[in-house]
Amino acid sequence: MMNITLTQLEYIIAVDTYRHFVTASEKCFVTQPTLSMQIKKLEDDLGVIIFDRTKQPIVPTEVGEKIIAQARITLAESKKILELIKENSNDVSGELSIGIIPSLAPYLLPLFIGAFTQKYPLVKVKIVELMTEEIIQQLKKDILDVGILVTPLNESGVIERPLFYEKVVLYIHKDHALAKKKTLKTTDIASPDLWLLSKGHCFRSQVMNLCSYQLSKRSELPFEYESGSLETLKKFVEKEGGFTLLPELAVDTLSKDVTTKVKQFETVPLREVSFAYTRNYSKKRLLVLLEEEIKKSIPKALLTKDRGNVVDWR
């Protein structure tokens, strides 16, 4: 009689995630021979090869991919039993792994994470800054429990749960021509004076979509530079001129530099910030508590989207 164990499923998921037997064994806190032996036993019992060991890094076979996908669902469902027990006993504990995009992390995290960890000291929180695509990949591999990022994603297998809506504003040098305009349209910023985030940042894509910006435009800035940090772009506007766009939470941390201005658009663009998690998510209670803490920590105006129009970025 075939007996597939949850431990075996955990091992094949780990190997698929890390594509390396030694690393997978370390993450599972077992020796590499033990992990390899259990996976080989599972393969023998099923009569199939789950991993192609001739390739480096190791990859699943075609049937292995299907088995691993089902293993992820099975393991996630099994974890829900423990979550039900915790809910019944009002026990708020466990581990919560959060991925957050760089254009949100420095402005949002300080508002809520301290209060959350003090309120729920038995919850071990791990936070990592990642690009959106990396967060999606790690959610699907169950490395992350939840992502905090900009939506809509329209990604198969990923659930989006909107948290709040930030205005997108113009941060501009006071001597720039746009600083003197009474009203601003989004088309006004399709200019070679625009400082941009580097490729891969969703806010960069949102800005470019907003004004139909063409990278072929000749730069009139003193030098070309694409940054991974909104704070760096602010400094360049202050010292070198031009302008950039900022999400609303970043405005609260602006310097008091008198050389710059913040201006809003006539038709207000918004970026939608959401939780993202997979359909197999088993820590819904922790997610609800985290959502409550975030919403309490931000200005109430950000909780509604009737202040403007959400800008797609994907």
Give pLDDT tens digits for 61-119.
999 999 998 998 888 888 777 777 766 666 778 889 999 999 999 999 999 999 999 99
Q: What is the mean pLDDT of the chain?
A: 86
Domain 166-269 homologous superfamily, CATH: Periplasmic binding protein-like II (3.40.190.10)
Antiparallel, parallel or unpaired: β 196-197 and 226-227 = parallel
For residues 125 and 285, give the distance between their C-alpha atoms in angstroms, rounded to a whole number: 14
pTM for the predicted model, two decimal places: 0.76
pLDDT at site 60: 93
Confidence of residue 194 (pLDDT cuts 50, 70, 90): confident
- CA 152, distance to chain mean position in Å, is 12
For residue 135, the model assigns a pLDDT of 96
Write the CB contacts of 111 (distance below 8 Å, at least 6 apart in sequence).
294, 297, 298
Q: Which residue has the higher pLDDT, 259 or 128?
A: 128
Q: What is the mean pLDDT of residues 167-178?
A: 90
Among 112, 198, 96, CA closest to 147 = 96
Q: Contact 157/128 with Cβ under 8 angstroms?
A: no
pLDDT confidence bin for 253, thresholds 50/70/90: low
pLDDT at residue 213 tops 50: yes
What does the domain layout of the chain look like in residue ranges?
6-87, 91-164+271-310, 166-269
pLDDT reading at 277 higher than 90: yes
Class of the CATH domain delimited by 6-87: mainly alpha
User: Fold match between 91-164+271-310 and 166-269?
Assistant: yes
Give residue 218's pLDDT.
Answer: 46
Residue 216, pLDDT score:
46
CATH superfamily of 91-164+271-310: Periplasmic binding protein-like II (3.40.190.10)
